[in-house]
Structure 1
Amino acid sequence: MAGFRQEDVEIYYDMGEELGSGQFAIVRKCKEKSSGTEYAAKFIKKRRLSSSRRGVSREEIEREVNILREIQHSNIITLHDIFENKTDVILILELVSGGELFDFLAEKESLTEEEATQFLKQILDGVHYLHSKRIAHFDLKPENIMLLDKNVPNPRIKLIDFGIAHQIKDGNEFKNIFGTPEFVAPEIVNYEPLGLEADMWSIGVITYILLSGASPFLGETKQETLTNISAVNYDFDEEYFSNTSELAKDFIRRLLVKDPKKRMTIEDSLQHSWIKVIKRRNVRPEESERKPERRRLKTTRLKEYTIKSHSSMPPNNTYINFERFSQVMEEIAAAEEGLRELEKNQRSCGEDVTALLSIYEEKESWYKEENESIAADLSQIKQELQKAQALRRQSQEEARAAMLSANALKRKFGRLENRYEVLAEQMDSEVRWVEELVRTISAENHTRSTSMA
């Protein structure tokens, strides 16, 4: 790969603790030896064979790297360096240590509308920069929206993970089915041409969650979630949106539109009144006389949200994600009291076990599929080897037959050569006899001529 340093990354960086992992990548904290600056090292496992499903293809790695090289924005993670060895490509990235936006909100358990717009404005700024370069992220979700430092009054948002990002080119129709089901746009579900508009749908889902703690399309199964998305089946449940302004709901409605052409663009979103104003508008009359209550994210919805997000993850889930899941469960256990709450916890435990079993079954199925694929490859190689051995035996037999034929021809040629020599000697003898006869006759004729004279 052009531009990738073919050196040992540990010559220049000290590797530290593991920060997380994905299906084919591991992220570790590292420190640059020359400057002492801390970064995040993302080890991407390379796909060794084009027919294999293990690892990331060269084309996909180069696409992610090319996009990261092109972008430079305060709300987007930056690429510092790139190394490559026989098994991995190592991206040295900006260290974003503030954790996920989802975790930050779950810890707070409440969020005002003004705080939501502060976070959302940063997300929109980052996406606006990407879209200005015709880059679609295609995987916008709370897990990929990080905080640079959560222990400051106004945390800065950082968009991460450009593994499935694409540069949209005019005239090139692009279709794919990827992303996280809960956040994908209808055109992805329906395998239709994709563009920058898919990111705007994801922003609509994220905004819905920021304001309510509930997910608009999440179903009991992945299929139900995708069906809800395709049908744009959602509503503003009064239980979660009782204190939400009409401007905020209008913002969400203009993003959760099935037709991509009718969906708000990033420019439209930044110009929307809800984003532009500092103070919330459309406050209900009864709210103007009292301090608005802080809306609390529903812990039951957070729990469901976490379980579903884990069940849709790749087979090798990360420790950090299970740690977050455990923290949410502890908060639920602390908040729920009494017999009724204990009964709910019992049911939730059953759901957790089901979700974890589902993850295990997915992993087991994945390994089984890989084993079957390897077994099929080995069987094919064995058959090809047997064919090669059969051809080799056939060639050897044909060579022996040709050798025998050649020897027979050689013997026959020898016999013919001997006969030719015998015939040649006979011919020489006959020729000498004829020549002698001719001389004799000539001599007699000469004698006769002399005597007659």
Structure 2
Amino acid sequence: MFNVDIFSPNVLLLDLIRGGELFDFIAEKETLSEEEAIEFQEQILKGVAYMHTRHIAHFDLKPENIMLLEKDVPHPKIKIIDFGLAQKIDDGTVYQSLCGTPQYIAPEVINYEPLGPPTDMWSIGVITYILLSGMSPFQGETDAETLTNVVAGNYEFDDRFFKETSEMAKDFIRQLLLKDPRSVPWAPPIGPRSASSLRLSAVLATRREPAYRSPPGGDRKEPGDAWLLGYHEEAGSPSPGDRYLRPACM
């Protein structure tokens, strides 16, 4: 379906996306196999690889920004949306930003360090964790607690949600949730680990048990928004104890 204004010199063509967010798909389905996770991850990785080969990083990858073209089909196809935080990262350039969504941002965002394609790969690790468990690896009671968990790399594979998950699937997540971005596999052609991100999708094995579960004792939290991580000016150079959050970068 296309929207065309014949009275304007500019013509806007829009995809019709019927399936809603991947986040809601996971929440509603309540049973997600590793085969299904592989299908989604293969599409996500191919899309991110396409961006990275053109030196573009998304910087806000999350299930809320991944849409299904159709929902009630055997093998849903996805579209990556919302490029509001995306940046073109050319060789030799340094890009830093304090923008992102607390649950999905990488430690280098919080620490105000140079960002690049590995920052996207961290987010894909978080998305994989959610696909296989229905839970968020770093979610705290507050955004500040969530950010502390991210910086510390503080997550675990709780047996309540990962008892039936293969070790290969867990290893896939571990290889992406690395605090040192230089160690993270990412898409070609930037960096020495060219096709590693696509090969990683092969490690996800067959899953037979439900993957989406509501958190014990309560419903799932609402999807997070993008935030600006700032610093108190009087603190001088940024330090972990001086971080604060406010909505921004929308």
Q: TM-score range by the shorter chain?
A: 0.7 to 0.9
Structure 2 distance, partners of 1:98, 1:236, is 30
Cα deviation 1:386-407 (Å, max 9, x = unaligned): xxxxxxxxxxxxxxxxxxxxxx
Show the counterpart of 2:84: 163
- Residue type of the alignment partner of 2:118: E
Displacement after TM superposition at 1:153 (Å): 1.2
Deviation at 1:151, TM superposition (A): 2.1
Q: Which runs of 5+ in 2 are unaligned?
A: 188-194, 228-245
Identity over aligned residues, as a percent? Answer: 52
- Are residue 136 (structure 1) and residue 57 (structure 2) matched? yes
Indicate whether 1:125 and 2:46 are aligned. yes
> Rg bigger for which structure?
1
1:33-72 residue pairs with structure 2 within 5 A? Answer: none
Match of 2:29 among 98, 105, 108: 108
Residues 278/304 of structure 1: CA separation in 2 closer, same or farther (3 Å cut): closer
Matched-pair contact (CA < 8 Å) for 2:31–2:211: yes
2:115 aligns with 194
Unaligned 5+ segments in structure 1 are 1-28, 35-80, 84-89, 281-291, 315-361, 367-453
Q: Which residue of 1 aligns with 2:202?
A: 276
Q: Look up the equivalent residue of 1:196 and give its one-letter code.
A: P
**Which residue of 2 is the match for residue 153 of structure 1?**
74
TM-score, with structure 1 as normaliser: 0.46
Could you tell me which of 20, 32, 42 is aligned with 2:4? 32
Helix, strand or coil for the counterpart of 2:168?
A: helix
1:212 and 1:82 map into 2 onto residues whose CA distance is 48
Say if 1:190 and 1:169 are closer, same or farther in 2 by CA, change over 3 A. Answer: same
Structure 1 distance, partners of 2:12, 2:89, is 23
Instruction: Give me the whole-angstrom Cα distance separating, in 1, the residues matched to 2:82 and 2:116.
Output: 18
Asked if 2 retains the 8 angstrom alpha-carbon contact of 1:119 and 1:157, the reply is yes
Alignment of 1:114-263 (within 5 A): 114-263=35-184
CA-based RMSD: 2.7
CA contact (8 A) 2:21 2:65 kept: yes
Candidates 285, 289, 295, aligned match of 2:210: 295
Give the deviation of 1:300 after TM superposition. Answer: 2.9
- Letter paired with 1:276: A
Cα 1:277–1:189 change in 2 (3 A) is closer
Looking at both structures, which has the greater relative contact order when contacts are Cα pairs under 8 Å and sequence separation is at least 6? Answer: 2
Q: Say if 1:186 and 1:229, in contact at 8 Å, map to a contact too.
A: yes
Provide closer, same or farther for how the CA distance between residues 169 and 118 of structure 1 changes in structure 2, counting only shifts above 3 A: same
Q: Give SS of 1:210's match.
A: helix
Taking a change above 3 Å as real, the CA distance of residues 207 and 121 of structure 1, as seen in their structure-2 partners, is: same
Distance in 1, Cα, partners of 2:205 & 2:131: 17
| CA gap 1:150/1:217 in 2 versus in 1, 3 angstroms | same
**Where is the helix percentage greater, Structure 1 or Structure 2?**
1
